[in-house]
Amino acid sequence: MAEVKAAAPRSLIVALIAADMRSVARNRLLVLLAFMPLLVVIVYRFVIPDEAALAELARERFSVELEGIRPLIVNALMNLHALLMAIFVGLSASMIGAVYGLLLVEEREDRLMPSLRVMPVSFATYMIARMALPTLGAMIVTTLAYPIAGMAPLSLPKVLAIAATGATLVPVITMGVVAFAPGRVAAFALVRLLSLLAVLPVIAWFIDPPAEWVFAPIGAYWQMRALWSAVEGGSVWPDLAIAAVVNLVSTAALYWRFVQRRE
């Protein structure tokens, strides 16, 4: 009996992953949202210059040599790249979380939620299983996309740590959408708001404590702090630990709000 119970969640996860992949593939907007992070880093790669490209551009267009101000250019580019990659790590998880939030809202409007509550597994187990694919997907996308961007290079262990912690933002966004959006139209508006909140902490780069602590309740803020610390050669672990805790607490609170709706 124990083996059957253990097998049920595993088979459920596999079935849900297959069903979700089919649902996303049928909706062009959801496909676009899912691949938005990769599109962003491709733009970064081909639009945002690095030091060599900037020097070549100055030489060809303006006949100017940048050797005398190279340290200033290097510092400016490092800051720009750190800012842009911070936006990316916030956007990556939020877009994937938004896809699943929209899927759940659609299922609620189609009256599928009541039937899910009589499944042989608990509703909490179902929701955890449902979050498996997007959370793993966000981690993979961030890990692969970071070197594609070619900016603010970090070691693979640090990229993996930032990506894994950032993936905990996925259920926050998903639960945020489904807990408060009454329908599809409101869900799209809420997706825009939550995505903005996920990248808004980048403002902390320009301000000092205690003003920047206004972003402390947002997990993405601590993830961005970890990224900036890593770029400067510092440790990522304290900020990533706080980011994970903030995201998990937020997910639990939003899940409770979702369950209270009894839909």
Mean of pLDDT values over 163-191: 94
Mean of pLDDT values over 73-88: 86
Residue-level pLDDT at 69:
59
Residue-level pLDDT at 84:
93
Residue-wise pLDDT for 145-175, tens only, equals: 888 998 888 999 999 999 999 999 999 999 9
Residue-level pLDDT at 7:
46
Mean of pLDDT values over 108-127: 73
pLDDT, averaged across the chain: 84
Residue-wise pLDDT for 51-80, tens only, equals: 666 666 666 666 556 665 567 777 778 888
- 91 against 77, higher pLDDT: 91
Rounded to two decimals, the pTM is 0.87
pLDDT band at 5; cut points 50, 70, 90 = very low
Q: Under a CB-based contact definition with an 8 Å cutoff, are residues 73 and 66 in contact?
A: yes
